[in-house]
Structure formats: C-alpha cells, structure tokens
Structure 1
C-alpha cells in the first residue's frame, strides 16, 4: 500500500481534474478509491444493514460531487468524504432507528454469527454495542478507519479533546469486558 502522502497527492490531483473541467472520470476514480471504506464506515454505523449503507454511500458520493468545489484541502480527501458520509448517516438516523433492532433481527444475527472459532469477534461486537454511541462512533473512526484523533474530530465535528476522551474510555471498557480473552490467550501461551 502506498504511503499516506502519496495517496493524498493522488486524491488532490484527481480533485483538481474534476474541478478544472467537470471530469467525471477523475471523480469515478476518486469514488473507486474510497467507496469501500465509506461503505464500511456506513455499514458499521447502521449496524450491518447493507442496503441502508449502500443508499447512504450513494447519497454521500452525490453530495461529494455537488460540493467538491467546497473541498479546501485542509484535511485529506478521505477525511472530508467520511464527514459527508457521517452527516448523511446522522440525517437518516433521525428518520430511522438502526439502533433499535427487532427481536427477529437479533435472532438472525445469532443464526448467522461466526462459528466457534470466531467467538472473540462475536464478543467484541457485543462489547462494542455496550459502549455509548459516542464511544462506538469514535472507535469506529479512530480504530477501524484508522483516522487520527484530529481527523475524527473533523469528521464528527467534535473537539479533539472530546474525541480523545471517548476513545480512551471506550478502549478501557473494552479491555475490561474482554479481559477473559486476554487471560485465555496468556494461559495458552504458558
């Protein structure tokens, strides 16, 4: 994988091409470069609802196309895009509550849960659901998407200190709740 600075330069060049002449092919390249992570971000935010994530991703890219002239380059293009995606999610969230799964949804999750070899993954997912919504969102952006605290603050429109606090508290809770897994690994290694 190319380094972050090289990736940013490629994105900047593509943005410049789009802005210089409404270059749809350059925008398609930007879309291909970032659609996977944007969809992953949105799938996580909508608790695995792939159709909703795809709809929100489409809305995100339409907004990005319309607002590309507002991209100032203060943040990486990917960070700017994550912010648009998060804003689209928040607007949709106010209309539909993905956080309130029905009993049928829970049964489906249990039936399709990974096998015994992935019990840690299941426990981690359950532990993540126990975190506050702010802690979940911050950890999604900082850990899973690999954003810095500053980038996550930009995307989430939160002060950097608040992002750091949520990340610290969320990680501490996960460490406590998943301690039996750590103990089991230590016993196996002994």
Structure 2
C-alpha cells in the first residue's frame, strides 16, 4: 500500500518537481487536495524553523501526515543572504525578477560569487518529527540565462556545470538540486 502524504505547498513548480522525482512511489496530496486555502505560517528566522512551523500547522489543523520544506539561496559574499528571506528578498510582492535584480546589484564589485541552495524538509508522520537537509554549491553568474525553473534558477550555476538551473530540464535539475537531495533522504527514510 502506498504511503499518502500532504506536501505543504501551493507552489505548482515545487509540486511538479517533487512528483517528477518520486514518480508514483507515494500518493502525494497538495494543500488544495485537503481544502487548505490559508497561507501557512512562515515567521521563523531559519529554514529549519519555517519548515517545522508549516508542517506542524498542517498536522495540527488538518490531522494529516505531511511534510513541508523551506529553501533558500545563501550567497557567501552577502553573509549567506538572502537565505530564509529568499522569496521576499526584494519585498513582500515575492517577485522572482525583483529578487534576482537586487541580488545581482548587491554583488556588483564582489569577486566571490560562490553560493549554495539549501533545502530543509520537515516530515510529521503520526506525530513523529524528522528533518532532512539537501544543499548544492555553485556560483551566481552576472546575467540571467535560461527560461525554465523559477526563483533564482536563471542566475545560479551549479558546481561542475556550464549551465544554470534555468537552462536545465526539470529532469536534469531534479537529479542534482538541493531539493532533490533532501527529498531523496526523505524518500529513503520512508522506505
């Protein structure tokens, strides 16, 4: 019998990415599938705290086994910013273009363009909490390249590649991304 889990997100890109990684190994529910229409709380100041807060809210209010993730881009020359504030880096409007433009502006004149994407997943299954982390190192390039992906994908080039995340197919990115690494740990745990 397949395990059923609710993924605490309304982000269609994330759902598509995870479904591609997992295939039909698990029965994956979205927030929409359980009639959760409210914004999940994200007031923590770390990826770990936000991930836990979202999963706990879902488990407490909907009594469903679930997992939540929080991801961030951590740029070394900017003291690991934007980090937990990656989605709102340029303001509450959560504009991918504004976020990328602000990041590129803040990196002008900086020689160290190293960065990492990091994801933390919190699983709550029958009240038991587990966390999993995945990260991928790379560089922030100087101009946007590619049209696939979302967020900072057009300016993030993973280590060992000559293409940005936005220049890779969903399948390619799904094999190497921070999210893929964290979800692989989650999947191995569930098996």
Same structural fold, with TM-score higher than 0.5 when normalized by the shorter chain: no
Which structure carries more strand by proportion?
A: 2
Larger Rg: 1
TM-score of the superposition, structure 2-length normalised? 0.29
